[in-house]
Structure 1
Amino acid sequence: MPTGRVRWFDAAKGYGFITSEEGKDVFLPAQALPTGVTTLRKGAKVEYSVVDGRRGPQAMDVRLIASAPSLVKATRPKADDMAAICEDLIKMLDAAGNTLRRHRYPSAADSKKLATLLRAVADQFDVQD
């Protein structure tokens, strides 16, 4: 069976392409994916059989060999660093809470800084896979 890497796959469109080890593109319909798999990440290594379709080679019976490495996971801060960031965030939230208890909102600059930091920390925790 030939192997290759997923060039791209769009689950909404229901198809994508595999680049074979020889460098040729192979059409990848959603029906060729393994049972229970609805999408493939770009760069995932797959094994497949090839049939001649109306517009050229088409993959069938696709089997996932190795998923593509997650760039987000690879660039995540170390757990110790995240612990320090979370502690700093708690201090900022505590200060904002004290301001709110005095019936005032934090300044616009402090609010914007806090919102940006909250989103950035949430993104680090919201890693798929």
Structure 2
Amino acid sequence: MPTGKVRFYDADKGFGFISEDDGTDVFLHANALPEGVTSLKKGARVEFGIVEGRKGAQALQVRVLDPVGSVTAGRRERDRKPADEMVVIIEDVVQLLDGVSEGLRKGHYPDKKLGSNVARALRGLADQLDA
């Protein structure tokens, strides 16, 4: 059976593409996923059968070989900040980004320290929302 990596998968639309090890792209429909699997992360290694459809190669009977772990997979719901605290944090981040965007409109990137702080704030916010 051929193997490859998930190039992308959109669970809402129910399809995506797998890049075979030789670089060929194969269409992936939701009905080819293993039972109980509703989504695949980009980069997950999979094994699959192939059938030629009207529009080209299509994956069948996908088996996940090496799932891509989330950097926050070990976090639990209790690690999240309460929603009322997150509102304040998000409002602060929006203000911070507004200031950065004003500078960018004038053709100026933020200085290294501010840029680093903005990046850190966005990563922390993303971690909280993804937990």
Q: Structure 1-normalised TM-score?
A: 0.58
Secondary structure of residue in 2 paired with 1:116: helix
State the distance in 2 between where 1:24 and 1:123 align: 33
1:49 counterpart residue number? 49
Deviations 1:91-127 (A, max 9, x none): xxxxxxxxxxxxxxxxxxxxx9x9329x966754565
Deviations 1:34-93 (A, max 9, x none): 0111111111110001111111111000000111132x349x9xxxxx9xxxxxxxxxxx
2:103 counterpart residue number? none
State the distance in 2 between where 1:36 and 1:66 align: 16
Task: Mark the structure with the bigger radius of gyration.
Answer: 1
Q: Is 1:60 aligned to residue 51 of structure 2?
A: no
Segments of 5+ residues of structure 1 without an aligned counterpart are: 77-81, 83-111
Q: CA deviation at 1:29?
A: 0.6
Identity of aligned residues (%): 49
1:96 counterpart residue number? none
Q: CA deviation at 1:2?
A: 0.6
State the distance in 1 between where 2:128 and 2:40 align: 22
Q: CA deviation at 1:14?
A: 1.2
1:100 counterpart residue number? none
Number of matched pairs? 91
Task: Give the RMSD, CA atoms, in angstroms.
Answer: 3.3
The one-letter code of the counterpart of 2:88 is A
